Amino acid sequence: MRFTSRKRRRAPSVIIVSLIDVLLVVLIFLMVTTTARKEPPPVLKLALPESKQAKPGAKETKPFVIAIATNAPYFYIDERPVTYERVQNELLTAAKRDPKVAVTIKADKRAPFGEVIKVIDAAKIAQVGSINAVTERTAQP
């Protein structure tokens, strides 16, 4: 007595068209996301002063960069706004770690000159190795 009838089972088949569609969607997704990974724009945009005598600086060690903007808060360290007291403390600790630390000042050409002098004074008090200013090279005809 057989209650069930034997049916011939078909061999399982893979639908290739659906797999190709999924593969194309994944490929498009990867292409869009990898091309969109660019460097973020800088937080602080400075218009640097121009100089005809500018020379590329030495790249021995990473300099201690202080940016000075046109409006308050004037001082930025690693693109983070800081106070003048914080600048002084950071310079003192950097000079204690490495007495030959190079301080680089990136000041906007419209930044108050008094703020630039404050940073230079703080660097001299901390007795850093050198103080450099970043400029843009003028276009030569």
Query: Any idea where the domains of the chain sit in the sequence?
Result: 50-137
Distance CA 108, CA 72 (A): 13
Interval 99-128 mean pLDDT:
91
Q: What percent of the chain has pLDDT over 70?
A: 82
CB-count burial class (<10 Å; 0-12, 13-18, 19+) for 113: exposed
Looking at the predicted structure, is the pLDDT value of residue 138 above 90? no
Provide the edge-to-edge strand list for the sheet that holds 64-68: 80-82, 75-77, 64-68, 102-107, 130-133
Tokens for 103, please give them. 């301080």
Select, from the ranges 35-39, 48-52, 104-108, 134-138, the one with the highest average predicted confidence (pLDDT): 104-108
Kindly report the CATH class assigned to 50-137: alpha beta
128, 103 in Cβ contact below 8 A?
A: yes
Interval 80-93 mean pLDDT:
93
End-to-end CA distance of the chain: 103
Of the pLDDT bands very low, low, confident and very high (cuts 50, 70, 90), residue 129 is confident
Beta-carbon contacts of 87 under 8 Å, excluding residues fewer than 6 positions away, are: 66, 75, 77, 118, 119, 122
What predicted TM-score, i.e. pTM, was given to this entire model? Answer: 0.60
